[in-house]
Homo-oligomer: A and B are copies of this chain.
Amino acid sequence: MSIQHLGATTSSDSLRNRKRAATRLSIRRAAIELGLEHGYEHVTVDMICSASKISPRTFFNYFGSKEGVYASPNRAMPSEQRRRTFVESNNSGVFDDLFTLIADSLVEVDSNLELFQARRQLIHETPELLHKEKSRISELEETYVGYVLERYRFQGRNNAKTPDLADEAHLVVALVSGAMRFAMQKWVADNFSTTPEELVRNTSALVHRIASNEHWP
Contact = CB atoms under 8 A, between A and B. Distances in A.
A42 interface: no
B93 A207 contact: no
Contacts of A135: 127, 131, 134
A213 interface: yes
Interface in A163-194: 164, 167-168, 170-172, 174-179, 181-182, 185-186
Interface string A99-126: 0000000000000000000000000000
Assembly of this chain: how many copies?
2
Nearest to A95: B214
Given A168-B209, A168-B210, A92 B178 contact: no
A32 interface: no
Contact of A93 (B175, B177, B215): B215
Interface residues of A, number: 39
A168 B94 contact: no
Contact of A206 (B164, B176, B178, B206): B164
A23 interface: no
A195 interface: no
Most chain B CB neighbours (cut-off 10 Å) among A95, A127, A174 = A174
Contacts of A214: 92-96, 211
A156 interface: no
Nearest to A155: B213
A202 B170 CA distance: 13
30 contacts: A92-B214, A92-B215, A93-B214, A93-B216, A95-B210, A95-B214, A96-B214, A127-B135, A131-B131, A131-B138, A134-B134, A164-B206, A167-B186, A167-B206, A168-B210, A170-B186, A171-B203, A174-B179, A174-B181, A174-B182, A175-B178, A175-B179, A175-B207, A178-B178, A207-B216, A208-B216, A211-B211, A211-B214, A212-B216, A212-B217
Interface of A: 92-96, 127, 131, 134-135, 138, 164, 167-168, 170-172, 174-179, 181-182, 185-186, 203, 206-217
